[in-house]
Structure 1
């Protein structure tokens, strides 16, 4: 019998490095009728759920969902398990997930294919500081877990995007960039319909650090200092991104679980 996991067991993992890979196996008609998917999910035909998955050796187990968690999910998981893949059914499907207030994203957005049949590819300016690390973190944790990022000379971002079809971000006059007082991180949250309160808190910190409005959140000044220091000490932009993923994992964890926690010295002895 396939293993079943409840939304309440899984929701705390979304947006973290411990999140499973969610595979949406709703039939095409059901998928087309829905404007949302679970945050970070990719779509696959339920009869081919294990095919065309990008390699990810450190990936946590797969969780499959359909509309209600019935036969479509059961077929997909049975096939995955038979192929030696650790997989489970989301109990109650996406309907139960939404009822439990699990995070979702819009199924479609400019440049990003609804089913994510292959990893999305993004391009931005080299030597990232804040937005250009925060945005890839957001994309990988909530939008496309297999997204690929390229950092190039600023003057060539738009030309390269036009020639390759990569998605440009955080440069002037492209869709995913600053809008008014909002930074690109805010734009992505709005475009993909994300509403997780902890993520919105993190967005204020990122906005404050990225737009020199350190009064928006007390943590903005610390994020600015750490981001500038990371850029100054790491010359490889992709290596900086991987280190930055840990930084934003920690900030998101603080926003979600630890804003009320304090740390004092000397420690109180019980």
Structure 2
């Protein structure tokens, strides 16, 4: 019989990438992590002995605790957190169970830039439209929920990156950018090991809209129109990013669960 504070890998997979995803705390020992240096998308490393600092990081939010096998470490930490009023679950089977789940992505820990002040720090050109909204969405939903983004004048991206230790993206002559016919969103999917069917579908739409190749995906015209509309609606780039997060949340759920659904009028019209 499942434990009341247990979540299965399949259940967790359905939550990752959505706004309702829990905080994911990877408390594996250094030895276990070094033997398998991959992360469940969106998770962060934390020592199992640092419960008070973990509570401070959670700020009361629901969480899933992950250890190697889903046994004493994660069950103990989850129980401790629950005793302090935090909604905590442990991952059934731990990282071993996650590895056995077909289609469960694993993010190479070395792919993420070093954190700066609690989360990764990124910088790009101001007045974002498509790639520069899609990429922050991908990072926050699948790589680093605490990531911060700086939007500056194009000529200042390199200087800001150097002075503030930020990682530049979607500009020329950097790693996190367009590669051939593929856009920065594609580069991040490859580097983060996130080539799932749903994200592949979404990437085609982003690529088509961002590179003016609407033949790749008919939805690109709609994404372009909405992206331009958001840029005209919001003067502040961070307000635009927050609005764009909701847009890409909806596109991701369409790509994952809703591609077969159509709409017509009258609703019962037969073809």
Band the TM-score falls in, shorter-chain normalisation: over 0.9
Which residue does 1:20 correspond to in 2?
A: 22
Q: CA deviation at 1:79?
A: 2.6
CA distance in 2, matches of 1:55, 1:35: 23
Corresponding residue for residue 45 of structure 1 = 47
- Aligned pair in 2 of structure 1 residues 50, 63: CA closer, same or farther (>3 Å)? farther
Per-residue CA distance 1:9-45 (angstroms, 9 max, x = gap)? 2211111101111111100111111131101001100
Number of aligned residue pairs: give it. Answer: 265
Q: Secondary structure at the match of 1:23?
A: strand
How far 1:54 moved relative to its partner? 4.3
Aligned to 1:30: 32
CA shift at 1:49, angstroms?
A: 4.2
- Pick the aligned partner of 1:105 from 107, 110, 129: 107
* Aligned counterpart, 1:5: 7
1:131 counterpart residue number = 131
**Structure 1: distance between partners of 2:135 and 2:52:** 28
In structure 1, how many angstroms separate the alpha carbons of the residues matched to 2:71 and 2:58? Answer: 28
1:151 lines up with 2:141 in the alignment: no
Does residue 219 in structure 1 map to residue 219 in structure 2?
Answer: yes
Q: In 1, Cα distance between the equivalents of 2:154 and 2:20?
A: 34
Retained in 1: the 8 A contact 2:68–2:96? yes
Q: Does 1:200 align with 2:216?
A: no
Equivalents in 2 of 1:50, 1:181: separation in Å?
47
For 1:174-193, what aligned pairs fall within 5 Å after superposition? 174-193=174-193
DSSP 3-state at the match of 2:262: coil
SS of the residue aligned with 1:180?
coil
1:66 corresponds in structure 2 to 67
Is the Cα–Cα contact under 8 Å of residues 234 and 240 in structure 1 kept in the other structure? yes
Q: Runs of at least 4 residues of structure 1 off by over 3 A?
A: 52-57
The 2-side partners of 1:254 and 1:24 are apart by: 29
Q: Is the 8 A contact 2:105 2:193 kept in 1?
A: no
**Does structure 1 conserve the Cα–Cα contact (< 8 Å) formed by 2:105 and 2:194?**
yes
- With over 3 angstroms needed to count, the CA separation of the structure-2 counterparts of 1:112 and 1:199, relative to structure 1, is farther
User: What CA distance in whole angstroms lies between the structure 1 residues aligned with 2:211 and 2:169?
Assistant: 16
For the residues of structure 1 that align with 2:89 and 2:217, how far apart are their CA atoms?
A: 40
Shift in alpha-carbon separation, 1:110–1:260, aligned structure 2, 3 A: closer
Q: Distance in 1 between matches of 2:197 and 2:59?
A: 29
CA-to-partner distance for each residue in 1:85-125, whole Å, 9 max, x for gaps? Answer: 21011011011112123232111116245xx9821111111
In structure 1, distance between residues paired with 2:216 and 2:259: 16
| RMSD (Å) for aligned C-alpha atoms | 1.9
How far residue 195 of structure 1 moved from its aligned partner, in angstroms, is 2.0
CA contact (8 A) 1:169 1:176 kept: yes
Find the counterpart in structure 2 of residue 79 from structure 1.
80
Task: Name stretches of at least 5 consecutive residues in structure 2 with no aligned partner.
Answer: none
Q: What are the ranges of 5 or more consecutive residues in structure 1 without an aligned counterpart? A: none
- For 1:92, the equivalent position in structure 2 comes to 93
